Structure formats: structure tokens, C-alpha cells
A and B are shown apart, each in its own frame.
Chain A
Amino acid sequence: MHVQIMQLHGGRVQMKVYLDNGASTMADKRAVKAMLPCFTKIYGNPSSLHTFGADARKAVDSSREVIAKKINADINEIIFTSGGTESDNTAIIGAAKANNDKGDHIITTKIEHKAVLNAFKYLEKKGFKTTYLNVDKEGLIDLDELKKAIIDKTILVSVMHANNEIGTIQNIRGIGKICREKNVILHTDTVQSFTKVPINVKDDFIDLASFSSHKIHGPKGVGALFIRSGVKIKPLLHGGGHEFNLRAGTENVPGIVGFAKAAELCNSEANEKMKKLRDYMIEKIKKIPNAKINGSLEKRLVNNINVSFKGIEGEAILTLLNEAGVAVSTGSACHSKNLQPSHVLKSIKTPDNYIQGSIRITVSRFTTKKEADYAVKNLKIIVKKLTEMSPLG
């Protein structure tokens, strides 16, 4: 009941339902509790040699161990950052610059998060050559296309593990195998998949992987980067020798501790729960007239639903849902800052009129069936209202 503020509204019960967990999540109270001593008790600088410093160092290092264990990495292969964006930038720009002697060609996909795409755009300006891989209707890259795209000059491949808009999960092991055989560094953005899809950096042949805390019920402004031992990267920040000389700046001890605690609290039971709820909602939403589920039904994040309604517009849906207390997001052009429809939905060849009417619903382990029912019930009413208003309906 954490997000249900019940109030009587014109005789109707109004709920507050948060279904935008792909954007950010509520911090787990246990993660917050774990952080608190780091403000008032364990407040030393982890680099200091006294006991206060040592206590903070211990807190950081045991958190590092938690994250490393989750992905079968070694402890010294994890550095903490300010989040997914910094991890993506450090991995991509850092690896490209550090390995420029071997080549200047880098590969990614058309459906990456802006944190990756804009790092690539930056490197293009610096003279790097880029290739953007296509995806199929479900959002999956073609491994043969990847193989063909890798040339002598290729030094880095960056493919997101799971997509933030449509939830499509790539065959990361297959991708890793190809990259390792061709001796190319593989970076993967696992911001959305971490704790929801198993990641084993050794078995999956991953060289670099980005993580973010606030997508897994941890605090905002903290994340991690896995750097396989032996993989060269140039740091973005210059300063003291923190984080193995790869990320200068006094560690965000409370954030790091909260992140590790949040990661510990994620488990397969919670994933099963989300998956059940997701499928329950998809079944109901599919029955709404003019609805079409975007992306893959099998290779999909346990918490993601992306649906389009033909002939109506996403911002209007989002706004009316918000009036009913339900929070979602949309890929509609009219709602974006640059009036461009979602590049992900475009890449999976969703027709423009369907992209316009797309919304993303992302549940969490705290989402209840009652909340799901309330959201779907309102969605149904809203789609009907907007369809009646539409000249295309």
C-alpha cells in the first residue's frame, strides 16, 4: 500500500499508482536504512588512514563485493560512479580513447539510451567512425550483421542488454562470443536488466558493463561500471587516485551502501512476481480496441509493457492517466522535447500513427494487483474517450 494514497474524489476512490519504474523507482526502506549511518557515523573519507576513514573504506569495499558477486566479477573489476550515464560515458569514451592506437571504428545499435548514443555522437566529432546496427521488429540485433560490421579497425562494440522503452533483451552471450573471437571490447548497458536478467560477465564475455542504482530501488546519483581486468580505459575525471585511478572523487559512501543493499534485496522471487503481473496486465490491455503491444513477448524485461493505441496520442493518454493518479511514460513526438517520436519505436518499424499513441508501463516488485486493475480500468476508459474524440477513430 506504499503508493496508494486513498482519497475520496467526487464520490470515487482515487488511487496513486506509480507505473514508471523504468524511469526511476522508490528506494527500498531497507536500502535507506542501510545508508543512514553513513551520514552521521561512518562519515570519514575512505581515503583517510584513521579509523573513521577505514570504516568508510570497509563500507565501500563490502558494497563492491556485493555488486561483483551479483555478476561474477572480481572485486577490483568494479568502480563506483554517479550512475548509468557516467558509467556509459566512461566505458565508451574511456575505452575508445585508450584503445585508439588499435583502431578508430566503434559499433553500437540504433536503440541505445541517449547516454550511449550521445557518447557515440561525441566520439564522431573527435574523428571516430561509427556504425549503428539495425534491430528487427522485436528490437533484436542480427548477430550476422554484427559480425559483418566488425572490421580490422573496430575497437569497441556497445550493445544494451535490455532496452529501456520496449524491454527487449539481447542475446548478450552470443554478442560477447563474437566480440571476444574478434578481439573487440564489448560494453553493455545493463541499467535496465541488472537484477532482472542474469548477468555473468565471465560466461557472457563482457568487458565493460554499466549499472545504475535508482532503477533497482536504490538511491539516485550512484551506479557502477564493470571493467574486466586488463581492459584499458581512460578516466573521464582527473583528480585523486580513487577507484583504482579510474574515477577520481571522494566516494559517495551512503549512495554506494544503499546501492549495494538494494542490489542484495533483488531476487528471482520478486522477478517472478513482476513477470506475473506484467503478463496479467498485457492480457487485459491487449483486449482494449486498437491496442498493439510493442516489442518482444518472450525476450522481454519482467517489468516492461509498451503498448500503442491507434488513432490517439500518448501525451493525452498520459495526462488523463495522471489525472486518475496513474503515472506512465510515452514515446509520442508531441510529448518529447524535440518533437521527435521515439527512436526505439521507429527502429522496430512501428508505424508513425502507432508511435504517437504509445505508452510505457513499468511495474515494480511493490506494484499490487489492485493497482494494476485500477490502472487498466482507467486506461480502458481513457482510450475510449480519446478514440471517440479522434477523427481517425
Chain B
Amino acid sequence: MDEYSKKVMALFKNPKNMGEVKNADGAGEAGNPVCGDVMRITIKVKDGRLADIKFKTMGCVAAIASSSMITELAKGKTIQEAMDITNMDVAKELGGLPNIKMHCSKLAADALRLAINDYQKRKKR
């Protein structure tokens, strides 16, 4: 447990934006076949920006902290800006993650992208 940064521990204990966006415009769920972590992100889009974003995660300390961080990074951003957020950005903002836990941050980036894809698909219909 000592390997986690203060920021990771703080977000893990008190995550931001936990829950489900009501009447979401897009939802994405990413699962990790390796460790079994599952992350679900729901978004609300207004004027081309992520007006609201929330997460639900079953996972380890790193997975929960990454979920919280990516919602903070993405909130208020344009769709394109949000799409460009990588797991490296998440890990960097968290003050680093243990190497073995990098896949947990990737899950967060994947879930966000899936949510945006879902939004774009729904818009086309």
C-alpha cells in the first residue's frame, strides 16, 4: 500500500463524481480481463462539452482513483479534448502509479472513450 501516492489515496478514499449521470447521453463500460476490474462511465453533453460525467467502478485502489481522476480531467472539456485524454495523463495527474497498476488507468481512458463513442452513435441515429 505504501507504493500509492498521496493523491491516489486521497481520491480512493473520497472519490469525485461517483455515481450515474441521470438521462445520460452516453455510457461506456470497460473491463479488464487480467485483473477483473470493471469501470462504467456515463456522460451528459451540452454545447459539445462534457457538462457532466460520473463513474462506477469495481476495482482496486488504483482503479477507483483513476476513475475519479479521469472524470475530473474530462469534465467541461470538448468532446475532442476528452477523447485525447490518455491513461498517461491520468497516471501523471495522480502523481504516478506503480508499474503493475498502469493497466487500471488504461481502463479509465477506455471507459471514457467508449462513453463518447456511444454518445456519437446515439447522435447519428
Query: Which A residues lie at the B interface, using CB under 8 A?
Result: 311-313, 315-316, 318-320, 322-323, 332-335, 337, 339, 341, 352-353, 355-356, 386, 388-393
Contact = CB atoms under 8 A, between A and B. Distances in A.
Given A313-B63, A334-B59, A334-B60, A391 B36 contact: no
B37 A334 contact: yes
A384 to B, nearest CB: 13
Nearest to B13: A323
A333 B35 contact: yes
Contacts of B62: 334
B29 A391 contact: yes
A322 B1 contact: yes
A312 B58 CA distance: 5
A386 B56 CA distance: 10
B100 A391 contact: no
Contacts of A388: 18
B60 A313 contact: yes
Contact of B60 (A311, A322, A335, A341): A335
Given A389-B15, A389-B56, A392-B58, A313 B37 contact: yes
Contacts, number: 71
Given A313-B60, A322-B1, A391-B58, A353 B15 contact: no
Contact of A392 (B9, B38, B61, B100): B38
Given A318-B1, A355-B36, 18 more contacts: A313-B58, A315-B61, A320-B13, A332-B60, A333-B36, A334-B59, A334-B63, A337-B100, A339-B34, A341-B36, A353-B36, A386-B58, A389-B15, A389-B57, A391-B40, A391-B56, A391-B57, A392-B38
B60 A391 contact: no
Contacts of B29: 391
Interface in B60-92: 60-64
B94 interface: no
29 contacts: A311-B58, A312-B58, A313-B60, A316-B59, A316-B60, A316-B64, A318-B1, A319-B1, A319-B9, A319-B61, A322-B1, A323-B13, A332-B35, A332-B60, A333-B35, A333-B36, A334-B35, A334-B63, A337-B100, A352-B36, A356-B35, A386-B58, A388-B18, A389-B15, A389-B56, A390-B57, A390-B58, A391-B29, A391-B57
Interface in B30-61: 34-40, 56-61
Contacts of B18: 388-389
A393 B60 contact: no
Contact of A316 (B61, B100, B101): B61
A320 B61 CA distance: 9
Contacts of A386: 58
Q: Most chain-B CB neighbours within 10 Å: which of A311, A353, A391?
A: A391
B36 A389 contact: no
Contacts of B100: 337, 339
Contacts of B104: 334
A292 B63 CA distance: 24
A281 B39 CA distance: 32
A389 B39 contact: no
A6 B92 CA distance: 37
B12 interface: yes
Nearest to B32: A334
Contacts of A339: 34-35, 100
B37 to A, nearest CB: 6
A107 to B, nearest CB: 31
Nearest to A387: B58
A316 B34 contact: no
Nearest to B42: A391
Closest 3 CB pairs of A and B: A334-B60, A391-B40, A391-B56
A391 B39 contact: yes
Q: Most chain-B CB neighbours within 10 Å: which of A353, A389, A390?
A: A389
Contacts of A320: 13
A353 B38 CA distance: 10
B13 A313 contact: no
Nearest to A337: B100
Contacts of B40: 391
